[in-house]
């Protein structure tokens, strides 16, 4: 474990998921302080933010636009400060649900049939089977999520989803069991099954206490569990992920997995899904936060070692 560090926890920001991000950030900050670190909490609501002096590492607890789309990662790269989670390019790819699907298809990772719509006047897509899922291309996983059970539902669902982005992803609704899989340091964590008590796993059910049941490790046969985890890891690698992420996977009745999307900065409240999976693997919340910090610092050390090796090599010439 690292010694005492100066850690900036970035949470809040300008996205539609600001409130949840603040909750993630507060939980992370409390955990890191419990380990003896000096923690500053930074809410980048506007572009003129700056890091506290002598910041060793940034813990990103941002969600949604700006935090997960590669923007803040690019800014931190320019500052030369290590930060937790995926790099700017992987974040950009994962935040765009269409680019994620393209990466998955290219890598042979199973994903749902889809098309893209960018007009509220678009006609009903006859080439996809009902029911359909409609969601913004570039937003958090449950923001603007709509379901189309019959053609009459289409205009309202499309209009609502387009409120959150200029383009929406329309895909076949996979009927089966809903799961999510955490990736941490190259290792696949136990599968979490998500079961809303009523309706679908939308924004309300996700963030309303008691509205959804979670089972971890999920009760699947060993072979099915292996397929789910392999699909999740394949999607993570397909977008060039590093350190950690959470991959949402539907499981058909025959046990075949279908990847929905990759969340590069998943929720980090103590009851969020990635911490649940880590706990099932024997890692408590504080240790999980420390592990994320250590992964970020390892890159800083590796870069420093590379510069030292290059300098030594130059001296030998």
Our answer to whether residue 153 is catalytic in this structure is no
At residue 308, the pLDDT reads: 38
Catalytic residue among 56, 267, 272, 291: 267
Q: What is the CATH number of domain 93-109+175-264?
A: 3.30.470.20
pLDDT for residue 33 is more than 90: yes
Token digits for 70?
């590669």
Alpha carbon 212 to chain centroid, angstroms: 19
**DSSP characters for the chain?**
---S-EEEEE---SSTTHHHHHHHHHHHHHHHHHTT-EEEEE---STT--PPTT--EEEE---STTTSSSHHHHHHHHHT--BSS--HHHHHHHHSHHHHHHHHHHHT--B--EEEE--TTPPP-TTSPSSEEEEESSS-TTTT-EEESSGGGHHHHHHHHTTS-SSEEEEEPPPSEEEEEEEETTEEEEEEEEEESSS-S-HHHHHSTTSEEEESS----HHHHHHHHHHHHHHHHHTT--SEEEEEEEE-TTS-EEEEEEESS---STTSHHHHHHHHTT--HHHHHHHHHHHHHHHHHHHHHHHHHHHHHHHH-
Q: Mean of the per-residue pLDDT values for the chain? A: 91
Our answer to whether residue 246 is catalytic in this structure is yes
Reported confidence tier of residue 312, pLDDT bands at 50, 70, 90: very low
At residue 209, the pLDDT reads: 58
At residue 116, the pLDDT reads: 97
Our answer to whether residue 248 is catalytic in this structure is yes
**pLDDT one-digit tens code per residue, 138-177:** 987 678 999 999 999 999 999 999 999 999 999 999 999 9
Q: Which of 18-27, 192-201, 258-267 has the lowest mean pLDDT?
A: 192-201
Our answer to whether residue 263 is catalytic in this structure is yes
Catalytic residue among 24, 91, 141, 161: 141
Do the Cβ atoms of 295 and 4 come closer than 8 Å?
no
Reported confidence tier of residue 212, pLDDT bands at 50, 70, 90: confident
At residue 309, the pLDDT reads: 53
Catalytic residue among 17, 69, 171, 178: 17
pLDDT for residue 13 is more than 80: yes
Our answer to whether residue 41 is catalytic in this structure is no
Our answer to whether residue 261 is catalytic in this structure is yes
Is 6-85+283-309 CATH 3.40.50.20? yes
At residue 142, the pLDDT reads: 76
Catalytic residue among 15, 91, 205, 263: 263
* 93-109+175-264 against 114-172: fold identical: no
**pLDDT one-digit tens code per residue, 47-83:** 889 999 999 999 999 999 999 999 999 999 999 999 9
Our answer to whether residue 299 is catalytic in this structure is no
Catalytic residue among 41, 178, 243, 261: 261
Catalytic residue among 18, 138, 246, 291: 246
- The fold of 114-172 is Dna Ligase; domain 1 (3.30.1490)
* Residue ranges per structural domain of the chain: 6-85+283-309, 93-109+175-264, 114-172
At residue 305, the pLDDT reads: 57
Our answer to whether residue 13 is catalytic in this structure is no
**pLDDT one-digit tens code per residue, 74-115:** 999 999 999 999 999 999 999 999 999 999 999 999 999 999
Catalytic residue among 243, 244, 248, 285: 248
Reported confidence tier of residue 1, pLDDT bands at 50, 70, 90: very low
pLDDT for residue 243 is more than 90: yes
């Amino acid at each position: 474990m690292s010694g005492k560090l100066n850690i900036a926890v970035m949470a809040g920001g300008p996205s539609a998921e600001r409130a949840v991000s603040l909750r993630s950030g507060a939980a992370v900050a409390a955990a890191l302080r419990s380990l003896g670190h000096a923690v500053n909490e930074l809410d980048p609501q506007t572009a003129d933010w700056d890091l506290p002096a002598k910041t060793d590492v940034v813990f990103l607890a941002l969600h949604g636009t700006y935090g997960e789309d590669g923007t803040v990662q690019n800014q931190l790269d320019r500052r030369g400060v290590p930060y937790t989670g995926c790099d700017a390019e992987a974040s950009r790819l994962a935040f765009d649900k269409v680019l994620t699907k393209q990466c998955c298809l290219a890598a042979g990772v199973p994903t749902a049939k889809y098309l893209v719509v960018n007009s509220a006047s678009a006609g009903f897509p006859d080439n996809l089977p009902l029911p359909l899922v409609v969601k913004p291309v570039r937003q958090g996983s449950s923001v603007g999520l709509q379901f189309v059970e019959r053609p009459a539902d289409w205009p309202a669902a499309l209009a609502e989803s387009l409120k959150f982005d200029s383009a929406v992803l329309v895909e076949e609704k996979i009927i089966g069991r809903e799961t999510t899989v955490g990736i941490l340091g190259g290792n696949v964590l136990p599968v979490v099954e998500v079961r809303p008590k009523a309706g679908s796993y939308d924004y309300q059910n996700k963030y309303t206490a008691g509205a959804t049941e979670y089972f971890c490790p999920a009760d699947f046969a060993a072979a099915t569990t292996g397929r789910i985890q392999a699909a999740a890891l394949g999607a993570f690698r397909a977008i060039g992920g590093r350190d950690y992420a959470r991959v949402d996977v539907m499981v058909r009745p025959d046990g075949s997995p279908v990847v929905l999307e990759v969340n590069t900065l998943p929720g980090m409240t103590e009851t969020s899904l990635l911490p649940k999976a880590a706990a099932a693997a024997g890692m408590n919340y504080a240790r999980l936060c420390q592990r994320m910090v250590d992964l970020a610092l390892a890159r800083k050390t590796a870069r420093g070692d590379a510069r030292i090796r290059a300098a030594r090599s130059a001296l030998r010439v």
